[in-house]
Structure 1
Amino acid sequence: MRIGLLGTGPWAQMAHAPALSGLEELDFAGVWGRRPEAAKELAERHGVRAYDDVDELFGDVDAVAVALPPDVQARLAARAARAGCHLLLDKPLAPAVEQGRAVVEAVEEAGVASVVFFTARFQLEPEAWITEQARVPGWFTGRAQWLGAVFTSESPFATPWRREKGALWDVGPHALSVLLPVLGDVRRVTAAAYGPGDTAHVVLEHADGASSTLTLSLTAPPAAAGAAVELRGDSGVAVLPESTEGAVPALRRAANALLTAARDGRPHPCDARFGLRVTEILDEAQGLLNGDSA
């Protein structure tokens, strides 16, 4: 499978390009970016072609990996799917439900495979823990804290879209990707913006009766940054283990998962439709936050 990369920013440089360069069953074929000079530099670094025309890239590859802001990702992902490309997408799938739905419709109409990269779902220890806890009955409640220091440190990820959308849309998808497979779908959402900066608190009622709370921020002090998930139920307390690996090995697993989904035709649990469900929950929470601040 030939795969192209859309995007040239920090995430593309630090994670996507190294991950795609190290895969035996995928041929990293080229890079397109909104800044042609950056695309040329990244492509030269990895010995691939830089494309000026994104549609030409779509025509030359079997799949694309996307490392772009959510609104740009959604538009280009739908175009790529219609061109017959399988999709390795980033979270969040889209910044609005309508855009996310358009991606899903394009994927399903074209019959292409899709995988959304939720980091914990492709790291060995966290994913094994999620799978194990999903088999355990009787969970009563869950608690997730996802605290970043993007806005309180010299982070390359203090990008315009993160400043606009905040922690709810940046780290909220990570928390939901862990909680939903274990506690089930969500039937009611409550949200409030209490605390410094973009800090948000979300309370979820899950379809099977359990509840969960999410505390999300990109404004945490650097010494307080980190992620934690705790479940409590009939079997006691379970805590999400920390991963011992970074993003690159996890992205390689996500790319291999896309290859498998394309070969056997079975949707991956983290496909575009799951990404859309996460977007729907975030959108509902955002509406409540907007109401709180009105």
Structure 2
Amino acid sequence: MTGTSQNWPHAPVEVGLVGAGPWARAVHARVLAAGPETRLTSVWARRPEAARATAAPYGAGVAATFEELLDGCEAVAFAVPPAVQAQLAPQAAKAGKALLLEKPIALDLPSARRLVGAIDTAGVVSQLVLTNRYHPVTQQFLKAAQGLDTVGARSCCLSGAFLGGDFATPWRLEHGALLDLGPHLLDLLDAALGPIVRVRGAGDVRRWIELTCEHESGAVSQASLSGAVELERGLMRVELFGRHPEHVFDSSALDHEELWPVLRREFATAVRTGRSGAIDAHRGLYLQTLMAHALDS
């Protein structure tokens, strides 16, 4: 469903892609090239052969340097490790480019703050690829949650991605599930139950980590995170409890193709209006702050 968006009244946003790994090939290049809101102009990666393989199916160009990519686009999408994103994205912001950022926005809190500072100084649009937030089912779950008197929640994001395969990458193996999977659950719990004012972590980020969150509303939530457990398929589930029937979000049955047109249109709309949406770099910094507190607890 990457090409099923409604009519788009503007010129497509010209987007350059940084990165040519599995996620860049499977998602970013394909989704951005589908339009009509965006057009994939070129790809730059540190491995030129990978950039060519990523760009070729869509007739996009291959930039010889990052600077060349910036010269040929009005927005930049990043599909690279967080440390690389935190290094390059401020340069793109300084060049006046809108930014489509991956989570986490950086490997550590100081780097995340520098990135957001660069975005604010440049005054450019930013958006975060928190995939679940763009799915219509997730949006319905969160809308219904706003009217509930929830006192507690439990959630999990579990997979075997770190055990082998395309996503057992060095940064994930080193920094574990909190940075990779944590943004998804913390974002959903915060959106469903209200601002998180305190978070504590226990366990091993490379094996299994458990988070306990206290919300401004008085609700308490828990999140179990692991990328190192043997599962047939990944599991992401949020359960809300209170003076209401159990309210559940479960991503296992979702058609993830439904979210990409929503994400693409929201990003293009933000670029064309010059106004970032709620899921922007500041949201990424907020989530990074929560994860840092969890590590320090």
Query: What does 1:97-246 correspond to in 2, within 5 Å?
Result: 97-133=109-145, 135-152=146-163, 154-193=164-203, 198-223=207-232, 225-242=234-251, 244-246=254-256
- Evaluate the alpha carbon distance shift between residue 25 and residue 267 of structure 1 in structure 2; reply closer, same or farther with a 3 A threshold: closer
Query: What is residue 290 of structure 2 aligned with on the other side?
Result: 281
Q: Does 1:266 align with 2:275?
A: yes
Query: What is residue 291 of structure 1 aligned with on the other side?
Result: none
- State the distance in 2 between where 1:129 and 1:63 align: 31
- State the distance in 1 between where 2:89 and 2:195 align: 25
Query: What is residue 6 of structure 1 aligned with on the other side?
Result: 18
Give the secondary structure class of the aligned counterpart of 1:269: coil
Contact 1:188 1:204 in 2 (8 A): yes
Aligned counterpart in structure 2 of residue 87 of structure 1, from 99, 103, 108: 99
Contact 2:136 2:258 in 1 (8 A): no
Aligned-residue CA RMSD (Å):
1.7
Structure 1 stretches lacking a partner, 5+ long: 289-294
- How far did residue 52 of structure 1 move? 1.4
Structure 2 stretches lacking a partner, 5+ long: 1-12
- State the distance in 1 between where 2:91 and 2:193 align: 34
Deviations 1:134-173 (A, max 9, x none): x214210111110011133x42100000001101111111
Give the secondary structure class of the aligned counterpart of 1:20: helix
- State the distance in 1 between where 2:261 and 2:30 align: 9
Deviations 1:45-75 (A, max 9, x none): 2211101111121121110111000111111
1:106 partner letter: A
- State the distance in 2 between where 1:197 and 1:55 align: 36
Q: Does 1:254 align with 2:272?
A: no
Query: What is residue 39 of structure 1 aligned with on the other side?
Result: 51
Query: What is residue 58 of structure 1 aligned with on the other side?
Result: 70
- State the distance in 2 between where 1:164 and 1:157 align: 12
The sequence identity of aligned pairs, in percent, is 35
* Corresponding residue pairs, total: 284
Contact 2:199 2:211 in 1 (8 A): yes
Query: What is residue 69 of structure 1 aligned with on the other side?
Result: 81
- How far did residue 8 of structure 1 move? 0.4
2:57 partner letter: R
